[in-house]
Amino acid sequence: MRGLATAVTRACRTGKSAGILLSALAGWLPTQSASADGERMLVFTKTVGYRHDSIPAAIAAIRTLAARHGIEIDHTEDAATFHRDKLSGFKVVAFVNTTGNVLDGEQQRAFEAFVAGGGGYLGVHSAADTGYDWPWYGDLVGAWFKSHPPGLQTGTVRFARPLGGSWPVAWRVTDEFYNFRSRPKGEAALVAALDESTYEGGEMGPDHPISWCQKVYGGRSWYTGLGHRPELFVDAVFLAHLEKGVLYAMSQSDDC
């Protein structure tokens, strides 16, 4: 696993990530029968502010996870895709390490209509650092980014909703740990929390939320604050966590 993570980092830095990551992940992930649904997910990675070098790794990981369940992936950074007719072909839209105000007013309304019609939303890491001019989006994500401690740290994530099988309930991971402006809004259910006693700079107290899910505005929303580092997208535990989010957002599972 360490060798695979190193290959991912090098691939992302050289711009040759897509083929390398897809091959590595396809060979590493356990096989699973795909459904014949032919459902589609749009992965959106437009950035106006900070741009994460983990974006190529994230796209490759989601594409591979989705393929195991018969889900087709389209990737775009073109905000013009947020048109009612274009969005109608998708079951879920994933905001993956987006930053800033990425959609204009008309595009925002198109996405609101998509969710109101039963569409799903998947948010990864800086998806919570997006759309500050758009209160509806803040409610959809559940909470907006506030800050993070300097640099990367290793801390413990505790899964409130077990991943199942032999996956750990308490997981030591190195990443950039977000503080949020508030706890998740509405009826959001906690998926995973940070143990602030295991790292420096946490500001949200016990059960510091880092991932949650909810049914909101007629659709489904699943968010994880993890995903800053490219290496995380080849980590077995994180992939299991992300896969549950994909299935929940796609309405293929009620377990998030």
| Residue 8, token pair as written in the block | 């991912």
pLDDT at position 11: 47
Cα gap 71→58, rounded to integer Å: 16
Measured CA distances, 25 to 64, 172, 233 (Å): 7, 22, 9
185: number of Cβ within 10 Å: 16
pLDDT at position 37: 52
164 has pLDDT over 50 = yes
**In the structure, what pLDDT confidence band is assigned to residue 17 with cuts at 50, 70 and 90?**
very low
Residue with the two structure tokens 């990737």: 75
Cα–chain center distance at 44? 11
Average pLDDT, rounded, for the chain:
89
**182-194 pLDDT tens trace:** 999 878 999 999 9
Among candidate residues 22, 95, 102, 9, the one with its CA nearest the CA of residue 53: 9
Domain ranges in the chain? 2-249
**35-84 pLDDT tens trace:** 435 699 999 999 999 999 999 999 999 999 999 999 999 999 999 999 99
Helices 55-67, 236-249: crossing angle, 10 deg rounding: 60
Helices 55-67, 2-14: crossing angle, 10 deg rounding: 120
pLDDT at position 3: 41
- Mean pLDDT over residues 225-248, rounded? 98
- Mean pLDDT over residues 152-180, rounded? 94
Q: Do the beta carbons of residue 249 and residue 196 sit within 8 Å?
A: no
252 has pLDDT over 60 = yes
> Higher model confidence: residue 91 or residue 22?
91
pTM: 0.88
**In the structure, what pLDDT confidence band is assigned to residue 32 with cuts at 50, 70 and 90?**
very low
Cα gap 120→169, rounded to integer Å: 26
User: Per mean pLDDT, which range of 13-17, 201-205, 221-225, 244-248 is the poorest?
Assistant: 13-17
The fold of the 2-249 domain, in CATH, is Rossmann fold (3.40.50)
Among candidate residues 189, 207, 184, the one with its CA nearest the CA of residue 197: 207
21 has pLDDT over 70 = no
**In the structure, what pLDDT confidence band is assigned to residue 208 with cuts at 50, 70 and 90?**
very high
18 has pLDDT over 60 = no
| Residue 131, token pair as written in the block | 């759309």
Cα gap 227→7, rounded to integer Å: 17
